[in-house]
């Protein structure tokens, strides 16, 4: 057996669960667990034939349990990917999703707090993955925070694959997606000492904007 990475093992386990669900559903369907009964129509609609489908046997209750295990393994695979792609000094806190905010959070009156554009930023929309065969080697996502403006929420490339133009390809894909979907403004931010990404951003047309300066010093007594 080939040496699979942890996220591959999780996905393979999910496939096993999915095959098990398909087999149980096929066996259930083969028993024809339903009955079609014709419903008498009111006068004037007798030319319409209406049938009601009644289930004569409930599905195996273990099926939703197996589906839950399948989803859990897929979700866990994303955590493994997030850890693998995180910088070495941030692996301990890495997880998926990158942001933990509930996009459907409601206030005391029951109204959704976040606007539609903000909720879109929590979905898989505008999310891009770079693959080398079956291996995920890069990831990028836009944060859709306004109708015509978006931000680069994250661009990450696995250490062994850096320096090959993957980050540039991901960012260019984000820009093309934004243009095709009516966005007119993109924002990004990064560590000032990260020279490679600074050069890449400049090459793609990004220009310096308002920055933040953090000052650290002793507390006066």
Give the pLDDT confidence of 67-120 residue by residue, as tens digits.
999 999 998 888 888 887 777 777 777 777 655 566 677 888 888 877 666 666
Tokens of 104: 């459907």
Q: Identify the DSSP state of 90.
A: G
Quick one: what percent of the chain has pLDDT higher than 70?
A: 88
pLDDT, tens digit (0-9, with 9 covering 90-100), for 7-60: 888 999 999 999 999 999 999 999 999 898 888 888 888 788 888 889 999 999
Tell me the pTM: 0.51
Question: How crowded is the C-beta side of 186, counted as CA atoms within 13 Å?
Answer: 24
Mean pLDDT score of the chain = 84
- The answer to whether the CB of 37 falls within 8 A of the CB of 52 is yes
Residue 66's pLDDT band (boundaries 50, 70, 90)?
very high
pLDDT at site 221:
63
Q: How far apart are CA 205 and CA 185, in angstroms?
A: 11
Q: Identify the DSSP state of 110.
A: S
- Residue 176's CB: how many other CB atoms inside 10 A? 10
């Amino acid at each position: 057996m080939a040496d699979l990475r942890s996220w591959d093992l999780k996905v393979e386990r999910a496939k096993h669960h999915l095959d098990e669900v398909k087999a149980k559903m096929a066996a259930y369907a083969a028993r024809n667990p339903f009955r079609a009964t014709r419903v008498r129509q009111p006068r004037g609609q007798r030319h319409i034939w209406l049938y009601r489908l009644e289930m004569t046997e409930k599905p195996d209750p273990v099926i939703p349990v197996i589906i839950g295990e399948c989803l859990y393994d897929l979700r866990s695979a994303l955590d493994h990917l997030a850890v693998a792609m995180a910088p070495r000094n941030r692996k301990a806190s890495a997880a998926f999703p990158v942001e933990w905010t509930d996009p459907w959070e409601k206030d005391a009156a029951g109204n959704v707090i976040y606007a539609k554009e903000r909720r879109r930023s929590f979905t898989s929309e505008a999310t891009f993955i770079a693959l080398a065969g079956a291996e995920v080697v890069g990831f990028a996502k836009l944060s859709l925070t306004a109708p015509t403006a978006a931000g680069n929420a994250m661009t990450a490339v696995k250490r062994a694959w850096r320096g090959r133009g993957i980050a540039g390809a991901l960012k260019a894909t984000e820009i093309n997606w934004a243009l095709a979907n009516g966005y007119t403004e993109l924002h990004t931010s990064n560590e000032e000492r990260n020279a490679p990404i600074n050069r890449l951003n400049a090459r793609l047309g990004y220009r310096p904007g308002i920055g933040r300066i953090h000052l650290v010093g002793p507390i006066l007594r």
